[in-house]
Amino acid sequence: MSTGNPSGPIWFSVGEASGDLHGAELMKAFRAMDPDVSFTGMGGPAMEREGFVPRHSMREISLVGITEILGGLPRILKLLGIIKKELAALRPRAIVLVDCPEFNFRIARMARKLGIPVYYYISPQIWAWRSGRANFLREFVRKVICILPFEKDFYAKYGMDVAYVGHPLMDVLPLDRLDAMAVRGNRIGLLPGSRTREVTSLLPVFADAARRLAVDHPDLEYVLVRAPGMDEALLRSLWPTDIPVSFVSPDERYETFRSCRFIMAASGTVTLETALIGTPVLVAYKVSPLSELVGRLLINVKYISLPNLILGREIYPEFIGRDASAENLARTAGAWLDDPAAYGEVKDGLKVLRTMVGDPGAPGRAARIILDDLEGPAC
């Protein structure tokens, strides 16, 4: 049996908006199987709406890039010390880690010392860089639950039998309703990210690209989807007043994604959301020069966006670091606007991708795996 407190809450450790969404869906699945279960730890607003009792906000660890993590290290170390004391006092039934390996690996290590079982849902993207961390997961995590089709084979190379449950977005996205919606031919979406550093780096570049596009396409309209917790005043301050833009809340994001001809977006889980909805995206990402240099040396995958990784080819153009320029974005966007064949090829590729991410029911399958393991013999 588990050595955690069988009547205690399940502790979640979530550090970003996509993890908050997936954590909320997993909580729903847990409650369907065990109505008395409770949840606490670190999370966000979507989880709170499902009854999560937060001890810490996920915004406390939302950092970008290697240099940014180093700059915030003293604060994070202090936070980890607080969490260690809380875990020792509370002794939760189990800990569910969601992505964020730099932070969550430390949670896994302290949980092992306390004898609390740990499960990794939305397994970290260690296949992208520092792949040897799979050995850490094998030692410190009871079960790794992955959601991308190629991850099971990756972990098998490290002697791990992980559970593949399919992607939980298939449960979140109302695809039948979205498929019936019309696309506005002159609407361009803007998704500059969920962290302040991302937004301040990318939104001015998107604005400059929009100004360049206006020369040949003056009828374009722009819509910006605000990430959960993002200050709209900051977004408005970074967008020029002479280019019309509308702002929508996170609650309207899926309908807005579907209505766009295409989107300029920061790299992240949102690229898979848009891909499953069927909307082409120009992917951009900027970090500090040092982070970019280290990343180019260490990253061992050809692409950074999930649709490209799943398909094994560049369906979404990627503009990373110095390549994330207004000129490059405007050039590719102009091609999509002027060449129906090029745009149609992307749309066709997205239809194929939707067939590759598993059937609905991933959160339920993950919850069942965790509960069965907690009720069975200890590893």
pLDDT for 293: 55
Spell out the residues 6+ positions from residue 338 whose beta carbon is closer than 8 angstroms to its own: 216
Give the separation between CA 236 and CA 247, rounded to whole angstroms.
9
The mean pLDDT value of the chain amounts to 90
pLDDT band, residue 5 (cuts 50/70/90): confident
Among positive and negative, which fits the CA dihedral 83, 106, 357, 29? negative
User: Does the pLDDT at position 288 exceed 70?
Assistant: no
The whole-number average pLDDT for the span 189-210 is 94
Comparing 20 with 292, which gets the higher pLDDT?
20
pLDDT band, residue 299 (cuts 50/70/90): low
Task: Specify whether domain 10-168+361-375 bears CATH 3.40.50.20.
Answer: no
pLDDT for 11: 98
User: Does the pLDDT at position 379 exceed 50?
Assistant: no
Identity of residue 325: S
DSSP 8-state code for residue 338: H
User: Does the pLDDT at position 125 exceed 90?
Assistant: no
User: Does the pLDDT at position 66 exceed 70?
Assistant: no
pLDDT for 295: 54
User: Which range (1-5, 71-75, 120-124, 195-199) has the least confidence?
Assistant: 1-5
pLDDT band, residue 298 (cuts 50/70/90): low
User: Does the pLDDT at position 210 exceed 70?
Assistant: yes
Q: Which residue has the tokens 């082409």?
A: 280
The whole-number average pLDDT for the span 182-203 is 94
Correct CATH for 175-354 of 3.30.390.10, 1.10.579.10, 3.40.50.2000, 2.40.30.10: 3.40.50.2000
pLDDT for 205: 97
Q: What is the pLDDT of residues 168-177, one digit of tens each?
A: 999 989 999 9
Alpha helices of 240-305 — where are they, by DSSP H?
A: 253-259, 270-277, 289-298
The whole-number average pLDDT for the span 233-259 is 95
Domain range annotation of the chain: 10-168+361-375, 175-354
**Which of 205, 204, 203 minimizes the C-alpha distance to 324?**
205
User: Does the pLDDT at position 266 exceed 60?
Assistant: yes
Identity of residue 220: L
The whole-number average pLDDT for the span 322-342 is 96
pLDDT for 3: 61
User: Which range (72-76, 281-285, 343-347, 372-376) has the least confidence?
Assistant: 72-76
pLDDT for 80: 93
Following DSSP, what letter does each residue of 323-337 receive, concatenated? G--HHHHHHHHHHHH
Tell me if residue 124 falls in helix, strand or coil: coil
93 phi, psi to nearest 5 deg = -60, -40
The whole-number average pLDDT for the span 109-120 is 96
pLDDT band, residue 1 (cuts 50/70/90): very low
pLDDT band, residue 301 (cuts 50/70/90): low
Spell out the residues 6+ positions from residue 287 whose beta carbon is closer than 8 angstroms to its own: 64, 65, 66, 67, 68, 201, 295, 321
Give the separation between CA 134 and CA 144, rounded to whole angstroms.
10
pLDDT for 269: 84
pLDDT for 378: 53
How many C-alpha atoms does 114 have within 13 Å on its Cβ side? 24
- Could you tell me how many helices (H) and strands (E) the chain has, helices first? 18, 13
User: Does the pLDDT at position 290 exceed 60?
Assistant: no
Joined tokens for residue 244: 């019309």
